[in-house]
Structure 1
Amino acid sequence: MNKSIDEKWHSLSYFEEIRLIISHPFHTAKYIFTQIKHGHIPNIIQFTNKRTKLFYSWVVCSLLMMFSWGITIVQAQPHQNTTIIQGKITDANTNEPIPFANVFFKGTTIGTTTNFDGRYRLETTTPGDSLTVTVISYKSKSKKIQKGKNQTLDFQLEPTSFELEEVVVRAGENPAYPIIRKARENRKFFNPENLDAYEYKSYVKVDISLDQINENFKNSKTFKPYSALMDSLQKAAGEEGKLVIPFFVSEQINEVYYRKNPKRNKTVVKASRMNGLIIDNYQIFESYLGKTLQEYNFYNNFQEILDRSFITPLATGSFAYYDYFIMDTVMVDNDSCYELKVKPRRPLDLVFSGKIWIDTKNYALRRLDLEITSSVNINFIDKYKIQQDYERQSTGHYLPTKTRVLVDLQQTSDSAVGFIGKYYIANKDYIINQPRPPSFYDRNVEVDMAAKTYSDDFWNEQRKEMIADHEQVKSSLEAIDSLKKAPQITFIRRALRIIWDGYYNFGKIELGHWYTMFGNNPVEGFRFQTSVRTNINWNYYWILSGYGAYGFKDETFKYRLQVERFLNRSKWEKIGLRYSYDMMRLGVDPEFLESHVFLNYIFLFSSQFGYLHRMSLSQDARIWYETDHWRGWNTKLMIRTKTFHSQGDYYFGYYDDNDLIRTKYRTSEFHLITSYSKRRTWLVENNWRVGAEALKSQLWTFHATLGFKNVLGSDFTFQKFSLNVMHKWRTGYFGQLDYSLTGEVTLGKVPYPEAIIPQGNEPVFAAEKAFNMMNFFEFVADKSISGILLHHFDGLFFNRIPLLKHLKWREVAGFNFVFSTYGKKNYIRTNDNPKGLLAPSINGNPITEFRIMDFGKPYMEVSYGIENILKIIRVQAFHRLSYLDPGPDGKKIPKFMIKASFFIRL
């Protein structure tokens, strides 16, 4: 067909047009498409006979449709043979996703890796017969596929021990070492702590579950009525997954802030919801989860986990603790990365096992998959797994966007159920190097007033945006709501609450405390005490508390009444008033009992039963005000008046201004108590709080006491000052040193009960914050410098001894000392000391005496021992090094003792 056809087109009849098209179909089509290409198709239509316009339109449309069908057929033909497979890889025991797993067709080089949520997708025209999944610490698994089809294959992998293939060692340097060195060199730039500031939004999910569920447990009286729920949970786990029962679920939306200079952290809890089978008060978890779980920084030499310091793979000197293996060079998103395996040189050392991915261009951490296994010298944990994904920010820094932590607790027996904790953190919207004013960071954790008011719809939207398995969280919350209605669960929840808190909750009031409920001593005989206090359900601002006690020997009722009023809960600003009438035990400071209740439960309980003499009956009235000023700094102001009256065979007397002997006195005092620790975090529960992490930095406490004479009938003017510093100093590879150093001075003429009495410890149970070879009320001083030091070596030596390392025992050593003196003016009046304050005898009975040190000859004791025996026991041998001669009472002083204590440390 040529141009002449176009010229003759007008003269053709209808039938001639049809014949031309039929006789030259390909030329006609070629001509029409050429015209279409140049946009001339309208000209063709207008030249044709009106009778054939419809025909030509049909021809053009038909040709276009045929052309389109041809392309479709050509394109679709290969897809008929394409195999598309997608799915999810999970841990068969925990049902947690397994990221970074290798997924490939067996016998081919076609494969991929799972993303952070354990999902994968493969599409190919040349698949193998089966799909295989491999990943460190899990058994490999393969499944048959259906070629040419779109299908879903999920895998549940069984965990196994971490092992590397046999490696041939050749002469020369490990090729992984230069990569690690370059990554170390670049830590200064990539370490987030070196940024001037950063902030981001974070979603934190905590899921604690029961695992290792057996048939006896499912058929128990508690859970058998919920068999339908068990079946649905099993179905959700998959055909090869294991049943887990939700125990506790928490979700938080946080805003996290950091500033380098001065170094400050702050977390604002914007939204929070929690639900649990056993735990019925979540405030303490809310403060803890809002901050602690997000602190993972593997650019530092040490990563603190569960109060232990683990050596990171990029740490200075890590070659002495890790073996490194280059496995491959892979693409992580769009970045080329070295994939390295890391393995401990010694299984018991505090190090990690697993994989790290390092960028090949700038040697930044791009991804990590590390775990702490049960072979490491830690307690109660079978596995602690950390997975992190980093993303490049506009400044060139790589910051974590997703973090997953799994904590698998050890079972107490083969038949017992286990606990597993799963934590997921998703970060977004980073703002870098825009620091806020220092005052903004004064409070390290803040909880918005509206944090607990958000609806289910709000949380559903947040989950969809931040987490892949958002439906799983919803089903876990529903399961907890169903199970917690069981009567047995309610009973267990209340019992654990009593053990933890010491009080039984009756709704608005609580009754306890169990460790002071019963006692026995020489003055009171058998003593029964009941304490009561209100909680936040009674009133948000007011707190009432008190106790009543009765001694069956002295037949005297004792009591304490206390009222407090919050002025500002966020600053913990409150005023308080207390009045008590009770026995006081000289040599055991009541503030010591209250401050170290968690450390010395055995000491506190045993001290109720006959170890204490030198009792005095005291009336004590006080009023106080306390507040937090800014981050880590707290102050308390107190006015106090109290009496002292010795009881039983405790003989005490002093000369008053008229040289008359008196056996009781009154003091009126003003107290200033202020403390500071830049890392202190308050864990709030109801109307009380516990200081946490304060000792990760130095905790300084200053206490000033001013005594005034003739105020409310007081008898003495004196001043007393003390300064204490405490710290849990992590010494890196060598463990942790706990120390407490105190300087004290008492000025003025005042009886020795108001002076300095070092805390002794007579029971066979050791106490951390006491002098364990010193008797109660053995020494008195008005000037003192003392120290209590205890070093935890964390298995530094035992981990290297073949027979001992399997016991996971840990070495501990301590040294305690006191330098002190006591002025003559406050001692016994004699011919050589005519101005002494104390009377030599009372009604013919010599007064109860005490020792006085020579400041140049300190009291000293050393200890050494083993902790982590059966994971909870510490046994120490104590040697007393000075003042070995009998005391004033003629009692023989032991030079050596072995004492035990309960000590729990992971």
Structure 2
Amino acid sequence: MKNLLTLLLLLVANILNAQLTLQGKVVDEFNSPIPFVNVVLKNTNYGTTTDENGKFYLKTRKYRGNLEISFIGFQTQTIKVSQKTKFLNIVLKEGTNELEEVIIVSKPKKRLKKKENPAYRILKEIWKRKRKNGLDLVDYYQYKKNTSIEIGLNNLDTLFLKKIFKNEYKQAIKEVQYDSDGINYYIPIFLNEQVSKVYGDNKNNNTREDIEAEKSEGLGAQGYVFDRMSKTFQNVDIFKNNINLLQKPFISPLSTNGFDTYDYVLYDSIVDNNKKLYNIYFFPRRDGDLAFQGNFWVVDKNFSIKKLKMKVHKSINLNFVRGLSFEKEFEVRNDSIYIPTKNAYEGDFTFIDKNESNKGLTIKKNITFQDYILNKPYPEAFYTQEIVKIRPDQYKKEKTYWDSIQSNESKKTHKLIENVKSKKQIKHLTGLINTVASGYINTNTGIQIGPLWTAFANNQIEGIRTKMGFRTFVTKDDRFRLSGHIAYGFKDKKTKYGAEARYLLSYKPRISVGAAYQKDIEQLGSTLFNTSQLLGRSFGTTALFSRGDNFFLSNIEKIASNFDYQIQNNLHIGFNFTHAKIKSASEENFSMNYIDESGNTQSQVTNVNSDIYVSYTPGRFVYGLGVERQFGRNVFPTFVLNYKRGYKDFFNGTHEYDKIQFKYNQPILLSKFGILDATFEVGKTFGTVPIALLSPIPANQSFSLVKDTFTLLNYYDFVTDEYLAGHFEHHFNGYILNRIPLLKKLKLRSLVTFRAAYGSISKENMAINRSNINYNTPNKLYYEYSVGLENIGYGNLRFLRIDAIWRSNYSLPAGSVVAPTPKFAIRIGVRPGL
């Protein structure tokens, strides 16, 4: 009995520990291995997928069962297996290759681990090869590129069309296109087309692009807003880990860190032109993350991208953006070289919210690539020749040229734009868009009134201040621009004014000159330096609400001139010459007195000085070819070096001095962790000068946040002749708050800042001081730090931010007339999305 019981226990243990070990290989009818095939023991939790060689290994605690081998696009097989089964050679037959016209793939309810997700193996192969595939594999290449940028009004109903076309409505309704929803209508209002040839030399890493022809039609010339919006789609490189859109780093679905941000679903495979393609869908893991949703097709064996479609997820709040979509297509050659054939980008912008029924603005950018020629070299010097557009009409072609290359659809678009651009309703609507974006009101006289946001201000000297500004504006490419303003203070009952004229002397090299006259008040303690800005535009005189009393304003009568030479794109050298009379705007409250060389007390400074500056902004987007240019909100560094020389007795100048200043700004993209905006400023004044010519640490007594200023300082709290300042502002872009339950529904984003200043002043400059400002310097590091929330607002309008700010301790000199400042404050900032 004892031996029988022992034998029975051994038998039960053997049954319980029995294992089924299966190995095999899955191939197609042509004996080619099939990777990522699902191999599952039916009615169990045991399963695996084949590797890139079609092989699989499966170990279970079962000792028999039915093994199911399945892959979309192939017929499923079921095989009985037992412990006797050792190695399986499985051949899958092709199923149907036809896909449904509409495919709906939903986000998986359960997130698979990397090793369990067949898409992960495909992505690993893409990462290995993405730098090896493409045009980089050839030494030389060339192709033709056609680019079109179209802007139009969307979600238009028949009532709106009747108001626009009136008696022409019946004919127009036949020509107007349907919107993407197939219900409402879309009207184009601007179209720019460009044809160019691109030449590449991979041996020396040089690229040359020659524009052959360019044509514009429509209402895009009233301002810069359409240019800025269309540049949203610059540099969308899906093979980089991060894609920069609207100064925010989006994680690419092909990023090597993509699995931290996306859920991937291997949906299907088909055979196209004897090449097997895998279709992978991707979804953001968390709503609100800066990520995309879409799918891409991958070619088997070389794992290059054939086609990709993606859009910004609807849960992401971007100011004025209702939707952004991207489509890219590639042609695969010789199983190793993929070349782009098409880029199609589309943006949908609305003013208030994302409601699909609201009227909006559509931006479409389409690029096609054709006529590729590989490995046809030109002389090395050919590729280094830079062909730059310098005049608006530089690539204008006759109508016969465009008739020969334009599609029928493009011709219809041009015809419709010619019809609608003269309609009053369209002009009023586009004029309103430009006014909201620029702050200027268009008139029919070539004069724009504005900017509107500086129309009213308040300070202790002028009381309520009103200001009306203007500028000439025919097109954004005007060679001549005249701007100016008239202001009036209701307390001091004085009129102030200023005017500035600029002219573009030469397109190539790009040389501009400017001259200005100003008789107005300025807040000298609000900025450290500027280069080409001639008229004073400090925020200290434009704020409507401010903290505490501010009598520390200066009356300035100034004549200034500027000469600016562009060495190359975004690299400028310039020269300024200025004659300015400076004195206090309220001598009973704010004295700027000093002792001159004769020992006499003086209250006015005559500053006669020259500036030589170098400005370098590599990678910056620039709009317009005229004398006035606008800059995009893309990520680029800024380097500015300025040398100022003051002249005594020349044109009655009162002081001789030298001042050198340097400023460096660098936004740093930190992938999913956000963007860090870092700025360094340093400067030193050589010579003995009064307070009007020194360098106060920039203060900000307004209730709004201003870049590169200290919120918890009063004007002239710190006065220096040598200084070092740093400003660091990190925007998390939802990385933290989007991971907190409930709070993430508010779609807020967090940020932190740190600002610090250090400086000193010489005994000589202190000795001549007779103002009521007792000089104080941050010889012990002064700093401010804050935490904040941004993306505050309603619907599509989320441009507000709130910061809670603290500062370090510091003490004012005895007898100082500057009021103590708070140690803590709440401030509001505005950060538009475009």
Q: Answer whether TM exceeds 0.5 for this pair.
A: yes
Instruction: Write the letter of the residue equivalent to 1:867.
Output: E
**Does 1:625 find its partner at 2:563?**
yes
| Larger RCO (alpha carbons 8 Å, 6+ apart) | 2
Aligned with residue 860 of structure 1, among 783, 786, 793? 783
| Residue of structure 2 equivalent to 1:175 | 118
Cα distance, 1:380 vs. partner?
4.0
Preserved CA contact (<8 Å) 1:188 1:194:
no
With over 3 angstroms needed to count, the CA separation of the structure-2 counterparts of 1:751 and 1:512, relative to structure 1, is same
**Does 1:316 find its partner at 2:259?**
no
* Bigger mean CA deviation after superposition, 430-439 or 731-740: 430-439
Cα distance, 1:738 vs. partner?
0.8
Cα distance, 1:727 vs. partner?
1.6
For 1:739 and 1:819, locate their aligned partners in 2 and report how far apart those are by CA, in whole Å: 17
For 1:435 and 1:394, locate their aligned partners in 2 and report how far apart those are by CA, in whole Å: 24
For 2:223 and 2:518, locate their aligned partners in 1 and report how far apart those are by CA, in whole Å: 32
Cα distance, 1:245 vs. partner?
2.7
For 1:538 and 1:378, locate their aligned partners in 2 and report how far apart those are by CA, in whole Å: 27
* Bigger mean CA deviation after superposition, 346-355 or 556-565: 556-565
**Does 1:636 find its partner at 2:574?**
yes
Write the deviation string for residues 840-875 of structure 1: whole angstroms up to 9, x where unpaired: xxxxxxx331552242x1111001011001212101
With over 3 angstroms needed to count, the CA separation of the structure-2 counterparts of 1:266 and 1:381, relative to structure 1, is farther
The 3-state SS of whatever aligns with 1:474 is helix
Aligned with residue 827 of structure 2, among 874, 899, 903? 899
Cα distance, 1:207 vs. partner?
2.9
Cα distance, 1:654 vs. partner?
1.0
Write the deviation string for residues 48-105 of structure 1: whole angstroms up to 9, x where unpaired: xxxxxxxxxxxxxxxxxxxxxxxxxxxxxxxxxxxxxxxxxxxxxxxxxxxxxx9xxx
**Does 1:569 find its partner at 2:492?**
no
Residues 280-295 of structure 1: pairs in structure 2 closer than 5 A:
280-281=221-222, 293=233, 295=235
* Bigger mean CA deviation after superposition, 637-646 or 452-461: 452-461
With over 3 angstroms needed to count, the CA separation of the structure-2 counterparts of 1:564 and 1:596, relative to structure 1, is closer
Preserved CA contact (<8 Å) 2:701 2:714:
yes
**Does 1:243 find its partner at 2:189?**
no
For 1:786 and 1:168, locate their aligned partners in 2 and report how far apart those are by CA, in whole Å: 47
| Residue of structure 2 equivalent to 1:725 | 664
| Residue of structure 1 equivalent to 2:213 | 271
For 1:444 and 1:762, locate their aligned partners in 2 and report how far apart those are by CA, in whole Å: 48
Aligned with residue 474 of structure 1, among 395, 405, 411? 411
Write the deviation string for residues 797-837 of structure 1: whole angstroms up to 9, x where unpaired: 1111120222211111100110111112111xxxxxxxx11
The 3-state SS of whatever aligns with 1:327 is strand
Aligned with residue 826 of structure 1, among 765, 781, 787? 765
Instruction: Write the letter of the residue equivalent to 2:665.
Output: M
| Residue of structure 2 equivalent to 1:736 | 675
Cα distance, 1:462 vs. partner?
2.2
Instruction: Write the letter of the residue equivalent to 2:275.
Output: D
Aligned with residue 583 of structure 2, among 632, 645, 654? 645
**Does 1:423 find its partner at 2:329?**
no
Write the deviation string for residues 605-653 of structure 1: whole angstroms up to 9, x where unpaired: 5379997422222222223311110132111112222221223232121
**Does 1:879 find its partner at 2:806?**
yes
Aligned with residue 687 of structure 2, among 735, 740, 748? 748
| Residue of structure 2 equivalent to 1:119 | none
With over 3 angstroms needed to count, the CA separation of the structure-2 counterparts of 1:109 and 1:851, relative to structure 1, is same
Instruction: Write the letter of the residue equivalent to 1:838.
Output: N
With over 3 angstroms needed to count, the CA separation of the structure-2 counterparts of 1:176 and 1:854, relative to structure 1, is closer
Preserved CA contact (<8 Å) 1:885 1:893:
no
* Bigger mean CA deviation after superposition, 705-714 or 495-504: 495-504
| Residue of structure 2 equivalent to 1:458 | 401
| Residue of structure 2 equivalent to 1:232 | 174
Cα distance, 1:322 vs. partner?
2.3
With over 3 angstroms needed to count, the CA separation of the structure-2 counterparts of 1:483 and 1:746, relative to structure 1, is same
With over 3 angstroms needed to count, the CA separation of the structure-2 counterparts of 1:441 and 1:795, relative to structure 1, is farther
| Residue of structure 1 equivalent to 2:643 | 704
For 1:759 and 1:300, locate their aligned partners in 2 and report how far apart those are by CA, in whole Å: 39
Residues 214-229 of structure 1: pairs in structure 2 closer than 5 A:
214=157, 217-218=160-161, 221-222=163-164, 227-229=169-171
Aligned with residue 817 of structure 2, among 874, 879, 889? 889
Cα distance, 1:165 vs. partner?
7.0
With over 3 angstroms needed to count, the CA separation of the structure-2 counterparts of 1:165 and 1:653, relative to structure 1, is closer
Preserved CA contact (<8 Å) 2:670 2:676:
yes
The 3-state SS of whatever aligns with 2:526 is coil
With over 3 angstroms needed to count, the CA separation of the structure-2 counterparts of 1:268 and 1:558, relative to structure 1, is farther
| Residue of structure 2 equivalent to 1:134 | 102
TM (norm. structure 1) is 0.72
Preserved CA contact (<8 Å) 2:560 2:577:
yes
TM (norm. structure 2) is 0.78
Preserved CA contact (<8 Å) 2:261 2:284:
yes
The 3-state SS of whatever aligns with 2:170 is helix
With over 3 angstroms needed to count, the CA separation of the structure-2 counterparts of 1:204 and 1:294, relative to structure 1, is farther
For 1:618 and 1:171, locate their aligned partners in 2 and report how far apart those are by CA, in whole Å: 67
| Residue of structure 1 equivalent to 2:156 | 213
* Bigger mean CA deviation after superposition, 577-586 or 279-288: 279-288
Write the deviation string for residues 204-234 of structure 1: whole angstroms up to 9, x where unpaired: 2223333333455456x44655532553146
With over 3 angstroms needed to count, the CA separation of the structure-2 counterparts of 1:806 and 1:782, relative to structure 1, is same
Preserved CA contact (<8 Å) 1:265 1:441:
yes
With over 3 angstroms needed to count, the CA separation of the structure-2 counterparts of 1:448 and 1:429, relative to structure 1, is farther
Q: Share of identical aligned residues, percent?
A: 24
Preserved CA contact (<8 Å) 1:443 1:631:
no
| Residue of structure 1 equivalent to 2:80 | none
For 2:538 and 2:560, locate their aligned partners in 1 and report how far apart those are by CA, in whole Å: 26
| Residue of structure 1 equivalent to 2:551 | 613
- Bigger helix fraction: 1
Cα distance, 1:792 vs. partner?
0.4
CA-atom RMSD, angstroms?
3.9
Write the deviation string for residues 525-563 of structure 1: whole angstroms up to 9, x where unpaired: 454444444446799644444444444554544433444
Instruction: Write the letter of the residue equivalent to 2:346.
Output: L
| Residue of structure 2 equivalent to 1:372 | 312
Instruction: Write the letter of the residue equivalent to 2:522.
Output: M
Give aligned pairs, total: 730
With over 3 angstroms needed to count, the CA separation of the structure-2 counterparts of 1:268 and 1:878, relative to structure 1, is farther
The 3-state SS of whatever aligns with 2:591 is coil
The 3-state SS of whatever aligns with 1:273 is strand
For 1:218 and 1:200, locate their aligned partners in 2 and report how far apart those are by CA, in whole Å: 41
The 3-state SS of whatever aligns with 1:481 is helix
The 3-state SS of whatever aligns with 1:706 is strand
| Residue of structure 1 equivalent to 2:712 | 773
Preserved CA contact (<8 Å) 1:782 1:821:
yes
With over 3 angstroms needed to count, the CA separation of the structure-2 counterparts of 1:886 and 1:262, relative to structure 1, is farther
Preserved CA contact (<8 Å) 1:268 1:448:
no
Cα distance, 1:171 vs. partner?
11
| Residue of structure 2 equivalent to 1:187 | 130
The 3-state SS of whatever aligns with 1:825 is helix
Cα distance, 1:173 vs. partner?
3.1
Instruction: Write the letter of the residue equivalent to 1:853.
Output: T
| Residue of structure 1 equivalent to 2:285 | 345
Write the deviation string for residues 171-207 of structure 1: whole angstroms up to 9, x where unpaired: 9532222221111111221266797775532212223
The structure number with the bigger radius of gyration is: 1
**Does 1:838 find its partner at 2:769?**
yes
| Residue of structure 1 equivalent to 2:89 | none
Aligned with residue 429 of structure 2, among 492, 508, 527? 492
Preserved CA contact (<8 Å) 1:281 1:685:
no
Preserved CA contact (<8 Å) 2:522 2:538:
no
| Residue of structure 1 equivalent to 2:52 | none
Aligned with residue 357 of structure 1, among 297, 301, 304? 297
Preserved CA contact (<8 Å) 2:547 2:702:
no
Preserved CA contact (<8 Å) 1:349 1:377:
no
With over 3 angstroms needed to count, the CA separation of the structure-2 counterparts of 1:199 and 1:713, relative to structure 1, is farther
